[in-house]
Amino acid sequence: MPCLKITLAYDGSNYAGWQVQPEAHGPTVQGEVAAALKRLTGEEITPVAAGRTDAGVHARGQVISFSTRARIPVERWPLALNSVLPADIAALEAVEVAPDFHARYCARRKWYRYTIYNNRVPDVFCRRYSWHLRQPLDVAAMARAAAYLQGCHDFRSFCAAGSPVRHFERQVQQASVSQNGPFIYFDVIADGFLYHMVRIMVGTLVEIGRRRLVPEAIPAILAARSREKAGPTAPARGLCLERVEY
């Protein structure tokens, strides 16, 4: 039975995250994709995603995998899926992969971007995709702090309480802050992420941008291995899964 790897983009604003869960309040991206697959194939398919994005988080390069008996040519899959998906979810690309391919477990690294809109006046067209902060932020200090997040660390301080994981070490290949006009971007590439890890990183960097912490506080926060030492969790709406590499 062929296995497919499909790249998706979606606006997560109206979804209770990627994964179907009994307690989910509202539709999920996985649920919508599964319903679209059933309409196309008549099969009960549970698509697997590279990143289980939270409620309100977006994606430009989410990757899913699934097996199907449907005889749709691989190059026709994006068009076929887009004909039955909601307007805020789009299939971008499809390729056939080995039967043992798994979108999550085969991923080598993921790139997330967080967007802050730093301006006194809000931009109504960006409000669903960025965190609006009126107070001017010290972007240079935030950039210096982000550099301390690179490397292999125990990121327990940047993991939300209640996470079931037992191992907190992650390898961060890149963590950087850049600015383009009123937009501040935090880009992070790693082999994996903990629950709310990127959003807690952003919340901590904003505390540094507000001069409530110094950039040199990051090593001590990492060493503490305590969620209480890091900053608040940034809102979900500014976060986007940009790309997954295999």
pLDDT on residue 91: 99
pLDDT on residue 30: 98
Q: What are phi and psi of 14, to 5 degrees?
A: -100, 15
pLDDT at 168 over 70: yes
Question: Under CATH, which number does the domain 109-245 receive?
Answer: 3.30.70.660
Share above pLDDT 70 across residues of the chain, in percent, rounded to a whole number = 100
From the list 11, 54, 100, 138, the catalytic residue is: 54
pLDDT on residue 236: 98
**DSSP 3-state of 185:** strand
- Cα separation of 156 and 56, whole Å? 23
pLDDT at 233 over 80: yes
Kind and range of the H or E run holding 118:
strand 109-118
Q: Band of the pLDDT at 223, cuts 50, 70, 90?
A: very high
**Distant-in-sequence, close-in-space partners of 196: CB < 8 Å, separation ≥ 6:** 54, 158, 159, 160, 233
Share above pLDDT 90 across residues of the chain, in percent, rounded to a whole number = 94
pLDDT at 23 over 80: no
- The DSSP secondary structure of 1-66, one letter per residue, reads --EEEEEEEE-GGGSS-SS--TT-SS--HHHHHHHHHHHHHSS----EESS-PPTT-EEEEEEEEE
Domain ranges of the chain: 3-97, 109-245
pLDDT on residue 24: 64
Q: What is the pLDDT of residues 71-88, one digit of tens each?
A: 999 999 999 999 999 999
**DSSP 3-state of 82:** helix
Choosing among 3.30.70.580, 2.60.120.10, 3.90.1150.10, 2.70.70.10, the CATH entry for 3-97 is 3.30.70.580
Do 3-97 and 109-245 agree at the fold level?
Answer: yes
- Residue pair 103/64 in contact by the 8 Å Cβ criterion: yes
Annotated binding site for substrate: 112
Q: Name the CA dihedral angle for 183, 108, 171, 129, rounded to a multiple of 10 degrees.
A: 20
Q: What is the pLDDT of residues 192-219, one digit of tens each?
A: 999 999 999 999 999 999 999 999 999 9
Mean pLDDT of the chain: 97
Return the closest-CA partner of residue 55 out of 23, 21, 88, 13.
13
- The DSSP secondary structure of 191-235, one letter per residue, reads S---TTHHHHHHHHHHHHHTTSS-GGGHHHHHHHT-GGGS-PPPP
- Cα separation of 154 and 164, whole Å? 15
Q: Band of the pLDDT at 9, cuts 50, 70, 90?
A: very high
Annotated binding site: 112
**Distant-in-sequence, close-in-space partners of 173: CB < 8 Å, separation ≥ 6:** 109, 150, 189, 190, 191
pLDDT (average), residues 6-27: 92
pLDDT on residue 15: 97
Record the tokens describing residue 141, joined without a space. 């200090």
Return the closest-CA partner of residue 62 out of 233, 209, 242, 213.
242
Q: Has 11 been annotated as catalytic? A: no
